[in-house]
Amino acid sequence: MTAQLIDGKAVAKTIEAEVAQEIARLGFSPGLVAVRVGNDPASEVYVRSKAKKARELGLHGDELILPKSTSEADLLAHIGHLNGDDAVDGILVQLPLPGQIDPRKVIDAIDPAKDVDGFHPVNVGKLHLGRPTLAPCTPAGVIRLIESTGAAIAGSNAVVIGRSDIVGKPMAALLLQRHATVTIAHSRTRDLAAAVRNADIVVAAVGRPLLVTREMVMPGAVVIDVGMNRLNPGDADRVAHDEEKSRLLAKNGTVLVGDVDFCRVREVAGWITPVPGGVGPMTIAILMRNTVTAAEWRRR
C-alpha cells in the first residue's frame, strides 16, 4: 500500500480561484497590508510573496516596511493608523519581531475585524466557542487538505502533535467543530506512539524532523505534515533510507524535511502531504480567503 499524495499546490489554486470569483462579486478590491519590522531575509521573501499574491488575485496588497530599530510605541501607532483606514480590510504583522517589541501587545492592538491571521484573543475565543471568525491560516488550510481527500472528519479519531497557539490549539478546535474526537499530543505526552497509533487523522506540527515513524501510523490514516525542518550534511544518516531527500542533500548541502518520515510513512498511510508542496501553499491561499471574508463582514 502506498499513500496517495495530497497536492497542496492544487488545492491552493482552487481556493485562489474562489477568492478571485468572490472579489469579482464584491465589485471592489479588498485591502491587505503586511507589516514587516527589520530586514530578516526569510520574512522579507514571505511578506513580499503575500503582497504579490494579493495583487495577482485582485486584492490591493501593500507592504509596510519599518526599520529594525522601530520602537514598540511607533509600531503600535502604525497599527492604530491601519485600524482606522477604511481602505484596509486585513492587517498582518510578520513574526518574529525585534526584541524591543512585545508581539502580544501588537497582536492585541490589531482590530479583530481586520485580524486576517486569526491571532487576536477575540478571534481565538470565537474559534473555541465555535462561532464564525477569522481562523488562523495554517490550521484552516489543513482542514481544506483533509476535506480534499474525501475522508470523513466527523466521528474520526484525530491526533494533533503540537500545542502552539498558531497551529496546534486552533487545529484541535477546528477538528472538534467538525465532530472529530481530538487528542493533543506534545513534548510531555508519555507514549506518543500509542497516542498516534489509533488515529484516523494525524496532524504533525511540532517542529521535530522525522518524528512520526511508520510504526506509529495506522494503516490508511490521513497524515498531514505541517513541519518545516532543514537538515545539513551532518544529518545524512537520518535520510539515508530516503533516496530523494538524500540526493537533494548531497546536491544542495541542505534539505527540507517535515515532522513525518515521509518515505516510510507513505508505505502505510492512506493519504499524506509532502514537504515541501503540501501545507505550505495553503497558508497564503487561506490568508487571501480571510482578507476577502473580513472585507465582506466589515461592510455588512
Q: N- to C-terminal Cα distance for the chain? A: 50
C-alpha cell at 272: 499524506
Residues in the chain: 300
- Catalytic status, residue 94: yes
C-alpha cell at 197: 497509533
In angstroms, rounded to a whole number, what is the distance separating the alpha carbons of residues 85 and 79? Answer: 10
C-alpha cell at 169: 490549539
- Catalytic status, residue 86: no
Strand partners, 136: none
Of 141, 137, 144, the C-alpha closest to 123 is 137
C-alpha cell at 94: 510578520
Q: Are 249 and 255 in contact (CB under 8 A)?
A: yes
**Which residue type sits at 72?**
E
Which residue is catalytic, options 53, 89, 115, 117? 117
Of 141, 116, 134, 180, the C-alpha closest to 278 is 141
Which residue is catalytic, options 50, 53, 114, 169? 50
In angstroms, rounded to a whole number, what is the distance separating the alpha carbons of residues 107 and 205? Answer: 22
**Which residue type sits at 221?**
A
Which residue is catalytic, options 53, 89, 94, 261? 94
Q: Are 53 and 284 in contact (CB under 8 A)?
A: yes
- Chain-centre distance for alpha carbon 177: 18
Radius of gyration of the chain (CA): 20
- Catalytic status, residue 100: no
CA distances from 145 to 72, 124, 226, 261 (A): 37, 22, 11, 19
Strands (E), 115-188: 157-161, 181-185
Reduce the DSSP state of residue 62 to 3 states and report it. Answer: strand
Q: Which residues are catalytic?
A: 50, 94, 117
